[in-house]
Amino acid sequence: MRAACGVIALVLAACGAHAAAGYRVPADVGSLVVDNAAFATFARELRSGVERALPTATGEALKEHLFALALLDALDGHWAASVASLDRIAAVETSPADKAMRGLTIRIWADAERDHDFRAAMERQLAALPVDLVRNQLAMLRTMAQVFTPEVCRKLVSDEIKAHGTVTFEQAQAIAFQRYAVKQLVPVAAIIDEVLAAHGIDALPH
């Protein structure tokens, strides 16, 4: 697990080791991914900041702010709104792999609303993917399914985001993703692992 979590930690570390200003966080920043009340307060501030930034955001900033909004809507169970943000990202995305994979599990959850069957929805979404193009990204998803637990997600945030009262937008988005992982990936981790294995997707070594 150490090697796989090391790869995932690089994503968080890339968000910056220190934050000079931005979104307020508690001293125990990792608690945000497991504490409902703490995350609700944080999410309100993050949503407000994202909504203020979106009207003038362009390029990568636009995509990242829309993805943060998609995560927040998904965490609130607003799947149609979340997918709408993903569709806006896809409309300006130039990378075919990123266009196919960004928010894949959100799209699966939104699809699952029709029959309340996550496994069937995942099979439908995978059938529409260019699997060979996104094999590496699917390998990362399978790895997350195998190693993520609430404790692992909390530790990743605590270890990699060295906050001093506030975090940057990039760090805030990383926190929101780890919260999403705890709430929406961990409960269906076994299904994700089994379906990807059946499609010949290997996890990263761990």
Q: How confident is the model over 9-64, as pLDDT tens digits?
A: 444 444 444 444 589 999 999 999 999 999 999 999 999 999 999 999 999 999 99
Query: What is this structure's pTM?
Result: 0.90
Identify whether 206 is part of a domain.
no
Identify whether 20 is part of a domain.
yes
Identify whether 106 is part of a domain.
yes
Identify whether 162 is part of a domain.
yes
Inter-CA distances, 147 with 5, 63, 120, 157, 178, Å: 7, 27, 23, 15, 13
Identify whether 204 is part of a domain.
no
Identify whether 203 is part of a domain.
no
Q: Residues near 26 by Cβ (< 8 Å), separated by ≥ 6?
A: 32, 38
Range of the domain at 20: 2-198
Q: How far from each other are the two terminal CA atoms of the chain, in whole angstroms?
A: 4
The number of folded domains in the chain is 1
pLDDT value of position 17: 40
Q: How confident is the model over 144-179, as pLDDT tens digits?
A: 999 999 999 999 999 999 878 999 999 999 999 999
Chain mean pLDDT for the chain: 91
Identify whether 205 is part of a domain.
no
